[in-house]
Amino acid sequence: AQSVTQPDIHITVSEGASLELRCNYSYGATPYLFWYVQSPGQGLQLLLKYFSGDTLVQGIKGFEAEFKRSQSSFNLRKPSVHWSDAAEYFCAVGEKNAGKSTFGDGTTLTVKP
Amino acid sequence: DGGITQSPKYLFRKEGQNVTLSCEQNLNHDAMYWYRQDPGQGLRLIYYSQIVNDFQKGDIAEGYSVSREKKESFPLTVTSAQKNPTAFYLCASSIEDSTYEQYFGPGTRLTVT
C-alpha cells in the first residue's frame, strides 16, 4: 500500500529565507506526486505535480519540487518565502486506476517578519 | 467559472440529528471525494465515487452515507451514528482516477452540540 510521510509537523522560517518541506513516499511503481497548499479555513489548492519526465517541476507562487526516486522523496522548495506563504502544505501520491490518493499529514508553515 | 461549491460554509446541529452537506461541481469531473479534517490530523477520506451511481468507503466511513445520482453532485449525510461529527468537511473532484489532481471546495464547518 502506498503511504506518504511529511516528517515536519511545523516549520518556522523568516521572511525572505529559503524553504524546504520534506515529503517521502512509499510506492512500488512510478508515483504520481502532488503538493497542495491550504490557508486556514479554506480548501486545498494545487501547487505542482509530477508525473514523469524532468524531475524538477515548477509550480505556482514560485514553488518548485524535485523528485528523487533513489530517496523516495518529493521535497518542496522556495528560494525566498513571503509572509503570505504561511499556510499548511500537503504532499499526496496517486496511482494509475486507483480511485483514491494518499495524503501526508501536512506541514504547517509559519513565517516570521 | 468552473469549480466546486459546498454549502453552507457553517452548519450547526443538535446531537442526534442527521445533517446533509452539499457538494456540487461543474467541471465535468468523473471522480468526487469527501474528506474530514480535524486539527493536527490532516485529511481523512470518508467516501469517494469514480462514476455515477457507484461509490466506495474510505478510511472513516462509519456514521456517514453518500449518494451519487448525478455526475455534478455528491452529497454527504452525517448520521446520528457518527460519534464525533464536529469537524471541517472538504469535498473534492478530479477528472478520473488518482493520477489527476484534485480540485477542492471551500469546505463546510459542522458543529454538533
A67's enclosing H/E stretch is strand A64-68
CA triple B10-B94-B96, angle to 5 deg: 150
CA distance A76 to A48: 9
Instruction: Identify the three-state secondary structure at position A100.
Output: coil
> What is the pLDDT at residue B111?
96
* pLDDT (mean) for B90-109: 94
Q: Show which of residues 7-36 on chain A sit within 8 Å of chain B, judged by CB atoms.
A: 9, 32, 34, 36
pLDDT digits (tens, 9 = 90+) for B30-52: 999 999 999 878 899 999 999 99
Region for residue A53 given its phi and psi (left: phi exceeds 0; alpha: psi -120 to 50; beta: otherwise): left
Lowest mean pLDDT among A79-88, B92-101, B102-111: B92-101
Mutate to test the interface with A, among B6, B51, B102 (most CBs of A within 10 A): B102
- From the list B97, B76, B94, the residue with the least C-alpha distance to B23 is B76
pLDDT tens figures, B46-79? 999 999 999 999 999 999 999 999 999 999 999 9
Determine the Cα–Cα distance for residues A100 and A4; give it in Å rounded to an integer: 13
Cβ(B100)–Cβ(A94) below 8 Å = yes
**β-strand partners of B93:** B32, B103
